[in-house]
Structure 1
Amino acid sequence: MTSDAEPVVLLTGAGSGIGAATARAFAARGWTVYATDVSTPLPERVRERCRTRELDVTSDEQCRAVADAVRAETGGVDCLVNNAGYAAPGPIEDVDPEVVRDVFDVVAHGPHRLARAVLPEMRRAGGRIVNVSSVLGRNAYPGMGAYSGAKAALSSMTDALRMELADNPAVHVSLVEPAWVETTFAENARGKLADDRTADYDAVYEDLERGWGLDGGPLAMAPERVAARILDAATEDDPRARYTVGRPAALLRWTERLPAWLSDPAVRWFGRLTTRLARWWR
């Protein structure tokens, strides 16, 4: 615990969706919340109960500066929640390498930068690191290779960090893995689809634009459900290594056990089926 009466959480990607819901959930439980995002001001519903900061997680300097500022103001960080992320969808062949690097820089390297900024103190005083991944980090999806790859990197780094800290009982590291969530994630991702497209991938693009591959359709859950699991990881006496959120995520996790000759057609079938179902659902 920090010197403040209230525990302190530093949260990234708090401008909308899961991040905004998580900021409000921590504040409702009496935490001092430092809600950050790449641009400010954050929404009023976040600002009214949280301390907000601008933070570009791709900047080493900003990550160190924000962590130092929180320590100076409160005495320390009890929990770091790495939630910032975005997707640049499209077939691997069509996605620009620079775009892929940018996705990895936010999704995987950002949490690494912030972990390095808070761990020296956490190892002495205790604390939690909660990384928000996705079931796509375990189950790749056509047209989401860059995002799936970045989340897979984050998942592996989280596992490694948890084991590296196993001898320190005061520090816990957890991964939260939702599937589809009702946010602007899909809308923002579709806006990043390439204009110059390889015709062989027309079915992939159709799924991304019209199917449930990006937004989940009726399978998507409220961001508050994910926020509740993040709060569990931050507060439970014996937090789990992984928190899978919702039945669709649990089902997708289960498909890991299937051989590729069975799982690959099933995933492709899902995309093509939901492209047709979406006409009626919407």
Structure 2
Amino acid sequence: MSKQIQNVIVTGSSNGFGYLTVLTLARKGHHVFATMRNVNGGNATKRDELLKIADREGLNIKVVELDVKDQNSIDRAAIEIQKEAAHIDVLINNAGTMFVGISEAYSIEQIEDQMSVNFYGPIRVAKAFLPLLRKNGGLITNVSSVAGRLAFPYFGVYCASKWAMEAYFESLGYELAPYGVDVSIVEPGPFATNLLHSGPKEADSEVLKTYGEDANVPGTTLEGFDAMFKSGSPDVDPQHVADAISQLVHSEQGQRPVRTVVGQDFGTVELNDAVAPIQRRLITDVLQMNHLLGANHN
């Protein structure tokens, strides 16, 4: 059995996967720090919703201001959380946005913004809490996407941010294993959250003009997803992702999979299964090389 986990941090808790994960884990008896931006502004309603549910059901939820793009915000959140939690067992990097549009028409500044949230954001947060995680062991779970393994047209900026995040955290996971810290990546397919509409429109209108009618294709794509979400199919219920995260949290330390695909996978499971033995062989070769180098130095 996995150790009893007490303290959990969830980023991006104001809606979607994060909101549901907070409630799912709190209902299992854990102390959950639900972090989000603008807790006294735009997300005040979501803050109050969570706290009312916590009060009604006797759940241990604390809402904390944290903007993954702002290092000062992260540092303040870390201080506030550590006043209540002497140790951290789980960090769930969920906060993210999705840019959908003509990739060429996104400005460099917009691309940097997407990377700041989806790539640098999880790294900033992980670095803030890794000293505690390495001290006591635990779990980092990163919410990615099937677009973190596959390349979709009109999702180029988003795909790039998730591919980068997956590469960094998979590599980090191998480095943290000796410290008893697992790193897992959750790859959802399309689910009925507001993520698809969380990004801005393309900034370069001159580029958009050169695409003619094709410039409308991303919008049509989003309409197709919206229609699927409104169908009421249980397959697009985001609770499935929260449940998958919960299963990882309660799995045996050291036995958690690197990747977990949830929902429509577009072939991601097949890709992961094909790549896994190559990756394992690489890690084995690296470990053997390091052992030989260490022996030679001795």
Structure-2 separation of matches of 1:73 and 1:233: 24
Structure 1: state its 5+ residue gaps. 259-282
Q: CA deviation at 1:194?
A: 4.5
Counterpart selection for 1:210 from 185, 198, 220: 220
Shift of 1:53: 1.3
Query: CA offset at residue 60 of structure 1?
Result: 1.5
2:270 corresponding residue in structure 1: 254
Q: Please show how residues 124-139 of structure 1 align to structure 2 within 5 Å.
A: 124-139=135-150
Q: Which runs of 5+ in 2 are unaligned?
A: 55-60, 230-234, 275-298
1:234 aligns with 2:233: no
Q: 2:104 aligns with which of 55, 73, 93?
A: 93
Counterpart code for 1:227: A
1:117–1:257 CA distance, 2 compared to 1 (3 A): closer
Alignment of 1:164-179 (within 5 A): 164-168=175-179, 170-179=180-189
1:140/1:214 Cα in 2 relative to 1: closer, same or farther (>3 Å)? farther
Indicate conservation of the 8 Å contact 2:7/2:31, yes or no: yes
Deviation at 1:202, TM superposition (A): 3.2
Q: CA deviation at 1:24?
A: 0.8
Verify the 8 A CA contact 1:95 1:194 in the aligned structure 2.
yes
What residue number does 1:271 align with?
Answer: none
RMSD: 2.4
**Cα gap change, 1:208/1:7 in structure 2, threshold over 3 Å: closer, same or farther?**
same
Compared with structure 1, are the counterparts of its residues 39 and 72 closer, same or farther at alpha carbon in structure 2 (3 Å cutoff)? Answer: same
The answer for the alignment partner of 1:144 in structure 2 is 155
Aligned with residue 186 of structure 1, among 177, 196, 200: 196
Shift of 1:98: 0.4
Query: Residue in 2 aligned with 1:59?
Result: 70
Mark the CA change 1:188 to 1:121 in structure 2 (over 3 Å): closer, same or farther. closer
- 1:120 is matched with 131
After superposing on structure 2, the runs of 4+ consecutive aligned residues of structure 1 that deviate more than 4 Å are 255-258
Q: 1:30 to 1:126 in 2, by over 3 A?
A: same
Q: For 2:33 and 2:80, how far apart are their aligned partners in 1?
A: 10
Q: Deviations over 1:191-249 (max 9, x none)?
A: 5345722332633x433212258837437611110011111122211211111102x21
**Aligned-pair CA distance for 1:124:** 1.3
Give the equivalent residue in structure 2 for 1:81.
Answer: 92
Equivalent AA in structure 2 for residue 122 of structure 1: L
- 1:17 maps to which residue? 16
1:223 equivalent to 2:238? Answer yes
Identity among equivalent pairs (%): 29
User: What is the SS of the residue equivalent to 2:225?
Assistant: coil
Q: Which residue number corresponds to residue 154 of structure 1?
A: 165
AA aligned to 2:237 is A
Structure 2 CA distance, aligned partners of 1:186 and 1:33? 26
TM-aligned CA deviation for residue 81 of structure 1: 0.5
- SS in structure 2 of the partner of residue 129 of structure 1: strand
Q: Residue 106 of structure 2 contacts residue 204 of structure 2 at CA under 8 Å; is this kept in 1?
A: no
The TM-score with structure 2 as length reference comes to 0.77
Residues 1:33 and 2:32 aligned together: yes
Task: Note the alpha carbon deviations across 1:157-199, whole angstroms, 9 max, x for none.
Answer: 111111111222x21110000011101122334x534572233
Larger Rg: 2
Distance change in 2, residues 1:201/1:172 (3 Å): farther
